[in-house]
Amino acid sequence: MIKKDGQMLLTENKHMKVSKLAENIIGSEIIKLAAEVNEKIKNGEKIYNLTIGDFNPNVFPIPDELKNYIIKEYEANQTNYPPADGVLELRQAVSTLLKERCALNYSSSEILIAGGARPVIYSIFQAIVDKDDTVIFAVPSWNNNHYSYLNSAKTVVIEAKAENNFMPSAKDIAPHIKEASLVALCSPQNPTGTVFSKEGLEEICDLILQENKRRGENAKPVYLMYDQIYWELTYGNIKHYNPVTLRPEMKAYTIYVDGISKSLSATGVRVGWSMGPQFIIDKMKAILTHVGAWAPKAEQVASAKYLADLKTYAAFLEVQKKKISERLDGFYKGITQLKNEGHKINAIAPQAAIYLTVQFELHGKKTAEGKVLESTKDVTKYLLDEAKLAIVPFYAFGASANSSWYRLSVGTCKIEDVSSAIESLRAALNKLK
C-alpha cells in the first residue's frame, strides 16, 4: 500500500495473483500500435491512420432510416431485457434477408441475435470446443488464436500464402482434419479482404463431409464456423460463396457469424447474429444467457424495421460499396504505380471488405540516416515515422514475425486523403537506399 493525496492505493506485488487464464492472455497487437499512432496524432502530427477495422461515422454513417428507428424505439421506452435469442421480428427479418440475398434458408428458431459478432464467436467456441479439442484455422486471421486460448483448445495454425490470396485450401487442412473439432473460416477475410473461390470452398466442404461420414453418427463431428460478416461488401465481379448453398449437407455442421456491423457501418450499434443447427443455436443461447451479451432491445427492434425493407437496404449498400471501393481502388492504383516506379512494394487487387492487402519488401533498406530496416517492426515504424502511414503488419494476425505483408483499412479514410497518403509514401520510399 502507498499513500497518495490522502488515498491508500494498492501497488502490484508478487503476492497479488490472478487466474492462469488472465495471467497468460495476450493483448492485441493492433491496440499497441494504435497507442503509438494516437500519441503522434495527439502531438499534432498528420497521420494517415489506416489501422482500424472500423468506420469513421462522419464519413460512413449508418443509414438515416436505421438511426431514426433507433431514436424512436428509445423514445418508445424499448429499454428492458430482450428475449435471450433476440426479438422475433428481427430473427424473422434476418431469415428473409438471408433467403433473398444469400440463398440460405433458416427459420427464426435457427437464428440467434447477439451484441455483435464477438459474442457469437465466443458462444460457438463454448458450445463446440472442449478442453484440448483441436481447432484448425489459417493465419493471417482475426482472433481465432484468442478464442482458442479462452477455451484451452489445441490449435493447428496454417500460414496461408500470397499465391492463394491468403485463403487456406483443403490441401492445407486435410492432414489435420481427423483430430479437429472445429474448422474456423472467414470469407471475406479479415485482414486480407480476399474471398474463397467457389472451387476452393467446395473442396473444404467435401473434406469436412467426408470426415464426418468416416466418424459415423455416434462420434462428435467436426464443425465449421463460417464468419461472413463482410459478405455484402464485395466489389466488381467478385462473388461471395457460403458452405450451405454450395453443399446443402453442410447445414448440419455449419454455424455462421453475421450481422450489420460492416455492411451498414454499424460497428457501435452492436447487432450481430448466428444461424446454424437449432440444437447448437439453443446451446449458444443458453451460454449467452449467462454472459448477457445481448444486442440492446431498441437497436434490435429498429434493425428489424430497417431490414424489413430490403429495397432501402440494397440502395444503401450500393452507395456504401461505391464509397469503399473508390478508396480501395485508389490505394491499389497508387501502390501499383509505386511498384512500377521500382519500389519493392505490392498489393493484391481489392476483392471485398474494407481492407487492402499490401506488401513492403523493405527489409535491408537503409534510411537517410543510415539505419538498416532489419525487421518488419523496423519497416512498420519507418512507414509511420517517415511516410506518416499507419497500417497493421500481418504478424498482428498470427503470421510470421518477418512477414512483409500488411492490412490497410479504409473505413476511416477520407477520399481526399488517398492521393496525399500515396504522395507521402512515395517521398518516404525515395529516401531509402
Site of grid cell 421480428: 89
Alpha carbon 234 to its chain centroid, in Å, reads 15
Residue 3, all three cell numbers: 499513500
Mean pLDDT of 322-350: 98
Alpha carbons within 13 A on the beta-carbon side of 166:
30
- Mind listing the domains of the chain with CATH numbers? 2-60+315-430 (3.90.1150.10), 64-310 (3.40.640.10)
SS3 content of the chain, % helix, strand, coil (to 5): 45, 15, 40
Q: Return the closest-CA partner of residue 348 out of 406, 387, 423.
A: 406
Predicted pLDDT at 311: 98
In this structure, how many other beta carbons lie within 10 angstroms of the beta carbon of residue 58? 8
Distance CA 129, CA 147 (A): 10
Residue owning grid cell 490449435:
155
Query: pLDDT, tens digit, for every residue of 367-396?
Result: 999 999 999 999 999 999 999 999 999 999
Angle at 60 between CA 56 and CA 65, to 5 degrees: 130
DSSP code of residue 234: B
Distance CA 429, CA 221 (A): 51
Q: Which residue has the higher pLDDT, 54 or 11?
A: 54
Confidence (pTM)? 0.94
Please give the Cα distance from 397 to 49 (Å, whole number): 18
| Confidence label for 14 from pLDDT (cuts 50, 70 and 90) | low
pLDDT of 36 reads: 82
pLDDT of residue 382: 96
pLDDT exceeds cutoff 60 at 3: no
Q: In which residue are the cell numbers 455483435 written? A: 116
Three cell numbers written together for 206:
467435401
- Provide the pLDDT for residue 145: 92
* pLDDT of residue 2 exceeding 90: no
Residue 126 and residue 123: Cα distance in Å, rounded? 5
Residue whose entry in the numeric block shows the C-alpha cell 511498384: 339
The pLDDT tens digits of the residues spanning 131-185 come to: 999 999 999 999 999 999 999 999 999 999 999 999 999 999 999 999 999 999 9
Q: What is the pLDDT of residues 239-281, one digit of tens each?
A: 999 999 999 999 999 999 999 999 999 999 999 999 999 999 9
Model confidence band, residue 208 (pLDDT cutoffs 50, 70, 90):
very high
334/75 Cα distance (integer angstroms): 47
Beta bridge partners of 139: 159
Give the pLDDT of residue 15: 64
For residue 198, the model assigns a pLDDT of: 98
Cα distances (angstroms) measured from residue 229 to each of 26, 73, 88: 24, 25, 21
When pLDDT is cut at 50, 70 and 90, the band that residue 196 belongs to is very high
- Tell whether omega for the bond before 82 is within 30 degrees of 0, i.e. cis: no
Q: How confident is the model at residue 187 (pLDDT cuts 50, 70, 90)?
A: very high
